[in-house]
Chain A
Amino acid sequence: MTSFRSLFVTLLSTIFTLTILFHYGKLAIHSERYASYPTNPHLFNQGDLYRAGKILDRDGNILAQTINGKREFNSSETIRRATVHTVGDLEGNVATGVHSVYFNELTGYNFVDGVYDSDNSGNDITLTIDTDMCTTAYKALGGYKGTVGVMNWKTGEILCMVSTPTFDPYYTDQADKDAENGVYVNRLLSGQYAPGSTFKVVTALSGIENFSNLDDKYTCKNGVTIGGEWVSCMGNHGSETMQSGLTHSCNSTFAQIGVKLGGNTLLRTAEGLGFNKKVNLGKITCAKSIVNLTNIKDIDLGWASMGQHDDLINPFHYLTVMSAIANDGVLKEPVLVKKVSTPKGTTLKKEGGSDKRLIAKEDAKTLSDMMRKVVTDYYSDSGFSGLETCGKTGTAEVGEDKRPHSWFVGFCRNESKPYAFVVIVENGGMGAGIAKTIASRVLNS
């Protein structure tokens, strides 16, 4: 009875304690979001991030830094525009930008120590990107919307990451007007595109993995009938092997290969390459690549096998797939942040370093040789001399009255230029054309 009297006070104390713990729990989970709110006077001055370290490219060129309490970007407008999607703006418009995602590293903020920092300067971040390559890609893209990504398949380092349309981080109020065109979207990391013929590489790999004989013939008469419905091809290729079908980008061939493999087999290969799975670049969360191949009709499987149906590819993910093919099937963990270091130079953190096998070594070699033949036999090596380029182009239809997206993906086998690349030009038109030209300019820079 005596304890019943004071029950109410005990109850109050319990609720109080639980609620205060709830407050701290919430704080621990969202601390970074709260601290990075632009009115936090510890880190921001009238909305401008001022207490943050430098962001440097691989050669030590400064992309962003704080001078006298003000955040400054590179002095060249071209460099600012070419790197803004990687570096990020100060208002968090580019959600995948280093300024947003690596906020803790840059400002030295963490939940335990708060904003406390004895020298009040944050930490420096050195990126793996090559500013020259980025500006070349930005210029090569011209007025087109699109993206260029280049990755070193030996080390996993991202060398070039450009997305257009772009903006000048000094003038975000102008860019705001362009926001609906996706000016704030890093197309390489956050984009999802219909892959067009570039998906034939995945179907070919599945064939390599599952067929005992790669010399089987497939017929093409401006197309082929699958399950009673017509799949059209751009050419009348007659009889094709997998290799020649890839070289000529024959739809009939790959529709038949896909059906022969079956949806589940093709899906197994695709998922082995990372389709339908989370894609991360360091701390940055990227969009997924998506294929739907279970329980579909043969005709849809046929279309899906050559990248039409409802396949969607994230360009950065496809860049990792190209890297794995180039590197004997092993994917080096992609790296954008080379290191985080104090202003005095002590390294606090390095990213990357892990390996992951996506493809068996012999299969990767076979596929690589096939892609090499695509370049030598069909497009010729002009523009890529000495690089030993392997690749596949693609054309993705995007609607009745619009020019299709133009793709070029692949890698250089030359050990001195171990680059995997992805180039997408929105509404760039048919086939190799524009995407291939851009790739050639970037790889030769």
Chain B
Amino acid sequence: MSTVYTLYLGISRIAMPILIASLLFLWIIIFKKSKRKNEALAFMQPEFGENYGEIFSRESLVGKSHRCEVRLEKSPHKCHALITLEKDGFFVEPLNGKVAVNDEPIYDKTPISVGDFITFNKEMYRLCLPEEEDEPCKVCKGTGFMLLIFTLFQVLLCGQVYLSPNMESGYIFPASIGGMILIEWIYYIVLRVKNGHAKMFIEIPTAFLLSLGLTICYSCTPEEYVKQLVCIGVGIVGAFILRSILSGLSAVTALRYVVAVIALGLLGVNLIFGTTVYGSRNWLDLGFVSFQPSEVVKVAYIFFGGVVLSKKELSKMGIFIFLVFSALCMGTIAIMRDFGAVAIFFVTMVVLLMMRHAPLWITGGITGLAAVSAVGVITFLPYVADRFAAWTKVWQYADSLGYQQTRTIIACASGGLFGVGAGNGYLKNITAADTDLVFGIVSEEFGGIISFAMAMCFVLFAVYAVDVSKRCRSSYYAGTACAAAGMLLFQTALNIFGSVDILPLTGVTIPFVSNGGTSIISGLCILAFFKAAEVESKLPETIRRRYY
């Protein structure tokens, strides 16, 4: 090792965790400051009594059910009617009960305006607007500073990789990280110019995870590095496309069955023509490119699940359709023996059901059913039983079934809190380490602080999604954002805890960090659900323009 490298490593291995720790700290501070309170879009003022109905979201239910925003006391229907806010203003649509607008009975979706009297059965309400204009969004200061800290981290990382004697010292890594830095700053400036402020609560952690992923890819499989870069590019483009589709609920509703058919079709093709990698038949080889359909289906699943569970459909067949779709997805993936992915879909399903107020007995019943089938799978499938055999006693099987886990734990201990430097670890030499054991690689080479930060990024996503979902004007966006967060978090949990023997090893990837093109593309696309929800959490422009 040259003196320059020794000196550089000595400093940067301490500096990088400090930068990342302060980055997360800043994230939390800025996030807390930028939190806004939830403002009602409109009120339903009752003719008699004090029983105000506050309309927060783009679709609000009226009925006697406890999950209705406007609760009726005399209606016999749980879901009596639906009030929606669309581009052209407010609408009311009878679902099960009688509705009249200004004493005129209506039978279809009808526009309503402020001051109108709406009668549900015998209860009359008046549509009012909140009196004060909502406070201007606090400018989120500090994002630029966060980005600056992160850029510093990336520069240091670049140097570590470039100077490392254990890695190829070509220009491609510095060039790609440089490109990333450039894109981050352009993105930031565009946001500042367009909105007057920039929020990058999702973007910066993602860029951090991607940087770690790129480093691991560069040191484990340099020949796949360019492919990885292309996939990131495709993923970002995909995320923007999905984001623009998500900007209109009508487009989402129109596309729901197309998406579902494509998803099931992909899985079907996969089932028939799939190739087996590490015991799971979840790869599809198209000759020029091979990918994992189940990763693509993850995005489709959230997309579809969000629509069919919308408030409007909930009163009809929504839950039933969703459950059938879920069963088909999970069933096919289970046949492909990708049980990790099945678990991820299951958790996402539960999040969606909870977010959309599905009756608890359905959620509970399904969970019970899942538990029973999980026990069955563990007991009767030798391939799965094997993985459970070594679970929690990997040291007894240190050179057989517990090989990967023990090596990961040793790597975590070897890295300490600050790591041994990018590329200087040994865990990467183990088969499939760059997908299954990335937590160990990060712990070994960058240390415990950075690997902790890596894991916490997914918690931050969840914190963000939960917060945004509470303010979301549309329950579609609230539901999909939480589902996306739950999916990413649970997938990360399976990977990390599997590799350190807290859970059985399942061979799922950590989104953005693990090597694997499809996983990165789908991960990036899933982020579109966060960004869509973020916009939806603001007071809609339509309201501002029309009524103030």
Contacts and interface: CB of A to CB of B under 8 A. Distances in A.
A3 to B, nearest CB: 7
A373 to B, nearest CB: 57
B500 A23 contact: yes
A16 B482 contact: no
Contacts of A43: 414
Majority secondary structure of chain B interface residues (helix, strand, loop or mixed): helix
A10 interface: yes
Given A20-B452, A41-B426, A112 B493 contact: no
A118 B6 contact: yes
B354 A7 contact: yes
A19 B502 contact: yes
A6 B413 contact: no
Interface in A106-120: 109-116, 118, 120
A365 interface: no
Contacts of A3: 470
A347 interface: no
A31 interface: yes
A2 B473 CA distance: 12
A20 B448 contact: no
A2 to B, nearest CB: 5
A40 interface: yes
B417 interface: yes
Contact of A16 (B355, B444, B458, B469): B458
Interface string A104-144: 00000111111110101000000000000000000000000
Interface in A26-61: 27, 30-32, 34-35, 37, 39-43
B406 interface: yes
A34 B354 contact: no
A31 B38 CA distance: 47
Contact of A27 (B10, B448, B482): B448
Given A16-B459, A116-B421, 13 more contacts: A2-B38, A9-B485, A12-B489, A13-B489, A20-B496, A23-B500, A24-B448, A27-B448, A32-B413, A111-B413, A114-B418, A115-B420, A120-B1
Most buried by B among A1, A9, A23, A110: A9
A171 interface: no
Contacts of B10: 118
A13 B462 CA distance: 7
A22 to B, nearest CB: 7
B122 interface: no
Given A12-B490, A41-B426, A42-B420, A115 B482 contact: no
The interface size bin for chain A is 35 or more
A116 B497 contact: no
B493 A34 contact: no
Contact of B486 (A8, A22, A24, A110): A8
Nearest to B357: A5
Nearest to A15: B493
Interface in B428-469: 444, 447-448, 452, 455-456, 458-459, 462-463, 465-466, 469
8 contacts: A6-B466, A8-B350, A9-B485, A35-B414, A39-B399, A114-B447, A116-B419, A120-B1
Nearest to B496: A20
B459 A13 contact: yes
A444 interface: no
Nearest to B455: A20
B265 to A, nearest CB: 30
Interface in B386-425: 398-399, 406-407, 409-410, 412-421
The interface size bin for chain B is 35 or more
A17 interface: yes
Contacts of B9: 118
B300 interface: no
B40 interface: no
A42 B414 contact: yes
Given A16-B493, A39-B410, A116-B13, A9 B466 contact: yes
Given A8-B350, A12-B347, A113 B426 contact: no
Contact of B420 (A31, A37, A116): A116
B67 interface: yes
B351 interface: yes
A116 B416 contact: yes
A148 B450 CA distance: 51
Contact of A10 (B66, B350, B466): B466
Interface string B63-92: 000110000000000000000000000000
A5 B410 contact: no
B497 A24 contact: no
Most buried by A among B409, B410, B469, B493: B410
Contacts of A17: 456, 459
B302 interface: no
B478 interface: yes
B482 A9 contact: yes
Given A6-B470, A9-B351, A13-B459, A1 B66 contact: yes
Contacts of A116: 13, 416, 418-421
Contacts of B419: 114, 116
Contacts of B67: 1
Contacts of A1: 66-67
A199 B320 CA distance: 84
B483 to A, nearest CB: 8
Contacts of B421: 116
Nearest to B350: A8
Contacts of A110: 416
A111 B414 CA distance: 8
A62 B489 CA distance: 54
Contacts of B351: 8-9
B426 A42 contact: yes
Most buried by B among A20, A30, A42, A111: A20
A259 B399 CA distance: 59
Nearest to B355: A5
A241 to B, nearest CB: 60
Nearest to B356: A5
> 3 closest pairs, A vs B, by CB?
A114-B416, A34-B413, A41-B426
Nearest to A37: B410
A254 B493 CA distance: 68
Interface in B351-388: 351, 354-357
A24 B502 contact: no
A115 B459 contact: no
A259 B13 CA distance: 68
A319 to B, nearest CB: 35
Given A13-B463, A34-B412, A39 B354 contact: no
A32 B500 CA distance: 16
Contacts of B496: 20, 23
Contacts of A40: 410, 413-414
